Structure 1
Amino acid sequence: MDETTTAWGADSEVGRLRTVLLHRPGAELKRLTPRNSDALLFDGIPWVGRAQEEHDAFAQTLRDHGVEVLYLKDLFVETLESEDARRRCIGDVLTDPRLGDTLRESLRRHLEGMHPEDLAHVLIAGLAHEEFTDGRGLGYVLMERSEFVIDPLPNLLFTRDSSVWVGDRVAVSSLAMPARRRETSLTAAVYAHHRRFAGVRPAYSPELERLEGGDVLLLAPGVVAVGTGERTTPAGVERLARNVLGAGLADTVLAVPVAQDRATMHLDTVCTMVDVDAVVMYPKVADELRAISLRLADGELEVGEPGPFLEVAAEAMGIERLRTIDTGLDPVTAEREQWDDGNNTLAIAPRLAVAYERNSETNARLEEAGIDVLRIPGSELGTGRGGPRCMSCPVARDFLGNAGKKTCYGK
């Protein structure tokens, strides 16, 4: 796909993947320490060099199967050539209430004088107290040397969380956790100002109610499931439903309550699609997961009665049943491979998925069910609790609703 192509979007999780947005881990991961890793939402301190090797293997696997890989940082550097984008991204950093007026003004001058590549580095990797020698003000004087004037964004690795495409429109998330809020500002700037996305219309924006991309699954053309809980609130689901139903991007949105902890943060940590009628799913929640259908009728949002997720989803998709493939072979294996992102697969096409090689039992079950598994290393990438799906935002898939044509709605 060249830079003049405007056929972005997706209407399923399994249509042939054409273009994907990734973020190669970099200096921001080197900022993680035992002291700050919990606040920055990492369970461990990754070996950054190995994480980069693993990510490169992931990207190459995608390229080997005909997928164009776009890197978020490269797009961001080019985006910052726009004065409007620079003002937007610098302004977002300056809203941090920790700064105070004096430090805020000295930081503004520092950032405004930067080359786009240097500015992108600082906005992603952060700015440590000791690196900012021009800092002024009481906030700066009392800040510990180990603190950051601008916090790093190690979770930028998980590009699915900050944006997701529904039809030919992009939903930029409203991330709940303070450590991740600026990811959406950065991502929104790319979609709004980079020439490759000229003319793209939004389906959601960061100032709206809480919504995270990892909770959004495109079950089938016209059917969107959204995990609902602490990360994506019921109000966020309602807002997304009104937006996509009103725009004709879907006819049914399913709200799926998800009990959230470090192993089940989003809907895609317990369930991802690997075929047009099949999901890989954490067996502990398979029978417990519920769904509530949302539809528009005469401009009003109709809320259905809760029912078993697998049944409600199959009905909305117009199929007899939604096949399930379990994580692991027994409860102990299932729990371990759930922690290791066994359910967080990325479909490149129907019955072709990328998964971490370490989840051997789940991968074996996928293959027994007729799914070809492309295994990638992930011992270091997984320290942030995310797998291949979390690390990828598909921006162009073949549309199943258009009989596999490489076009978007209205094209």
Structure 2
Amino acid sequence: METKVLRRDSEVTSENGTSKTALNVTSEIGKLKTVLLHRPGQEIENLTPELLNRLLFDDIPYLKIAQQEHDAFADILRNKGVEVLYLENLAAESLYDTDTKLNFISEFIDEAKVESPALKEALTEYFLRLSNKDMIDKMMAGVRKEELKDYKRFSLYDQVNDSYPFICDPMPNLYFTRDPFATIGNGITLNHMRTETRNRETIFAKYIFRCHPRFKDCNIPLWFDRDENTSIEGGDELILNKETLAIGISQRTDSASIEKVCRKLFCKGNSFKTILAFQIPVSRAFMHLDTVFTMVDYDKFTVHPEIEGPLVVYEITKDKDSSSGLKVVKQNIELEEVLEKYLGRKITLIRCGGGDKIHAAREQWNDGSNTLAIAPGEVVVYSRNHVTNKLLEEYGVKLNIMPSSELSRGRGGPRCMSMPLWRENL
């Protein structure tokens, strides 16, 4: 099967003349070298109680404190030698000529579901008056109707929809950069998100990897394309080692999407040999696989007690004799058993909240199981999950603790807020 690539050349040449690939992630715990973040912006200020359900939020974070918390997160990473890139900056730097910018604007407006031709034209002119960075910030923040002061609403569409405050909805979920795409090996899944409000986020990644000077001349394989009609999100994609992926069949990821990833990934001739599809409960608390377990060391995982099993796990491998090209084996198995089987070592499961029913429920709600490993045995965690954090320390895991009163209101932890672009191989 042919695998799409975003451009041509297989390597990026560094200043000293040596070559390197643009992306490299073959584990969850290899030393983190480069990461993509998004600093929360005015999109948070455009959240209202009436829009919470539509925009997938449970509460409204206080932006000033959320930004301070996010800056502390970025500083932790930088102090550990991690290169921190920002989604908003890369997106702005990708629009290097007028045609690219016009194509980007047109695609954005179409996906924002702006139907009136006159309004599309007015909105295009509004965006073109802004610098690239200001335009990206405004697209992320959402465009209120009063911002197009000179636009006269004569069409039926405009008049019927006149009471809704936005021309383009805000995108408050953007600070969870884990989901719109996911780095696997030297390629990415450019994801088709479950909900319309989040699917717009993937436009930024599409243009970054196609057009940004850092990536545009690299051979970045697409293991999945946002134009697919089934959904997959990065929070469901975990790299257990260079040969094994875990992907959740969840509230946000379809089984059909996992098969599509398998076919492309197995045909590329890279190191990945097995994908484990974990069937997890379809609920807000178990939104993605990484909300119920994350890898913190070679032999240690944080877990929510309710995910331990027995689980339905599908082992998917390449099968050239099968009509589908895949061999799928269904297993009913405990989480500890399946991890030991494929990692080849004794595994320790560290229960969120220490397994206590009350603590586990509270800290799971605030992503106590969602840690970001920056090296084997060293993770970033939310301060508020004090029961789980103490337990991690007792198991010898080094903690980098970040403030979390406002960021946690979006229902995502340090892993959710980060997309590794480069990790050292184990």
- 2:350 counterpart residue number: 325
- 2:327 counterpart residue number: 302
- 1:212 counterpart residue number: 233
Q: Tell me how large the CA RMSD over aligned residues is.
A: 1.9
Q: In 1, are the aligned partners of 2:310 and 2:332 still within 8 Å (CA)?
A: no
Unpaired runs of 5+ residues, structure 2, are 1-11
Structure 1 residue 8: deviation in Å?
1.8
Structure 1 distance, partners of 2:201, 2:315, is: 30
Structure 2 distance, partners of 1:332, 1:162, is: 32
Of 2-11 and 282-291, more deviation after overlay is shown by 2-11
Structure 2 distance, partners of 1:97, 1:71, is: 26
Letter in 2 for 1:335: A
SS at match of 1:338: helix
Q: 1:51 aligns with which of 45, 52, 66?
A: 66
Structure 2 distance, partners of 1:322, 1:235, is: 30
SS at match of 1:195: coil
Structure 2 distance, partners of 1:3, 1:384, is: 38
Structure 1 distance, partners of 2:70, 2:13, is: 24
Cα displacement string for residues 124-145 of structure 1 (whole angstroms, at most 9, x for unaligned residues): 1111111122434332333345
Structure 1 distance, partners of 2:84, 2:99, is: 26
Q: In 1, are the aligned partners of 2:247 and 2:275 still within 8 Å (CA)?
A: yes
| 1:375 to 2:401 alignment | yes
- 1:183 counterpart residue number: 201
Letter in 2 for 1:241: C
Q: In 2, are the aligned partners of 1:262 and 1:385 still within 8 Å (CA)?
A: no
SS at match of 1:290: strand
Cα displacement string for residues 324-371 of structure 1 (whole angstroms, at most 9, x for unaligned residues): 110012111011100010000000000000000110110111111111
**Runs of 4 or more off by more than 4 Å in structure 1?**
1-5
Q: 1:149 aligns with which of 162, 167, 174?
A: 167
| 1:27 to 2:42 alignment | yes
Of 144-153 and 91-100, more deviation after overlay is shown by 91-100
Q: In 1, are the aligned partners of 2:37 and 2:419 still within 8 Å (CA)?
A: yes
Task: Say if 1:68 and 1:100 are closer, same or farther in 2 by CA, change over 3 A.
Answer: same
1:273-352 matches, cutoff 5 A: 273-298=295-320, 300-308=325-333, 309-317=335-343, 319-329=344-354, 330-352=356-378
Unpaired runs of 5+ residues, structure 1, are 401-411
Cα displacement string for residues 389-410 of structure 1 (whole angstroms, at most 9, x for unaligned residues): 000000000012xxxxxxxxxx
Of 38-47 and 134-143, more deviation after overlay is shown by 134-143
SS at match of 2:330: coil
SS at match of 1:35: helix
Structure 2 distance, partners of 1:256, 1:179, is: 26
Structure 1 residue 113: deviation in Å?
4.0
Q: In 2, are the aligned partners of 1:166 and 1:244 still within 8 Å (CA)?
A: no
Structure 2 distance, partners of 1:2, 1:282, is: 43
Q: 1:159 aligns with which of 177, 195, 211?
A: 177
- 1:403 counterpart residue number: none
Of 256-265 and 108-117, more deviation after overlay is shown by 108-117
Identity %: 39
Letter in 1 for 2:404: G
- 1:109 counterpart residue number: 125
Task: Say if 1:285 and 1:36 are closer, same or farther in 2 by CA, change over 3 A.
Answer: same
Structure 1 distance, partners of 2:378, 2:97, is: 39
- 1:409 counterpart residue number: none
Cα displacement string for residues 63-101 of structure 1 (whole angstroms, at most 9, x for unaligned residues): 111111001111111112244542332122332445233
- 1:73 counterpart residue number: 88
- 1:202 counterpart residue number: 222
Structure 1 residue 322: deviation in Å?
2.8
- 2:382 counterpart residue number: 356
Structure 1 residue 106: deviation in Å?
2.6
Structure 1 residue 195: deviation in Å?
0.8
- 1:91 counterpart residue number: 106
| 1:226 to 2:253 alignment | no
- 1:404 counterpart residue number: none
Cα displacement string for residues 145-175 of structure 1 (whole angstroms, at most 9, x for unaligned residues): 5521111111010000111111111211111
Instruction: Give the alignment's TM-score, normalised by structure 2.
Output: 0.89
Letter in 1 for 2:306: K
SS at match of 2:253: coil
Letter in 1 for 2:267: G
Structure 1 distance, partners of 2:328, 2:166, is: 45
Letter in 2 for 1:13: E
Instruction: Give the alignment's TM-score, normalised by structure 1.
Output: 0.92
How many residue pairs were aligned? Answer: 399
Structure 1 residue 306: deviation in Å?
2.1
Letter in 2 for 1:363: N
- 2:190 counterpart residue number: 172
- 2:142 counterpart residue number: 126
| 1:13 to 2:35 alignment | no
Letter in 1 for 2:77: L
Q: In 2, are the aligned partners of 1:9 and 1:170 still within 8 Å (CA)?
A: no
SS at match of 2:54: coil
SS at match of 1:50: helix
Q: In 2, are the aligned partners of 1:3 and 1:196 still within 8 Å (CA)?
A: no
Structure 2 distance, partners of 1:288, 1:356, is: 29
Task: Say if 1:3 and 1:158 are closer, same or farther in 2 by CA, change over 3 A.
Answer: farther
- 1:406 counterpart residue number: none
SS at match of 1:291: strand
Of 145-154 and 36-45, more deviation after overlay is shown by 145-154
Structure 1 residue 7: deviation in Å?
4.2
Structure 2 distance, partners of 1:293, 1:286, is: 17
Q: In 1, are the aligned partners of 2:29 and 2:296 still within 8 Å (CA)?
A: yes
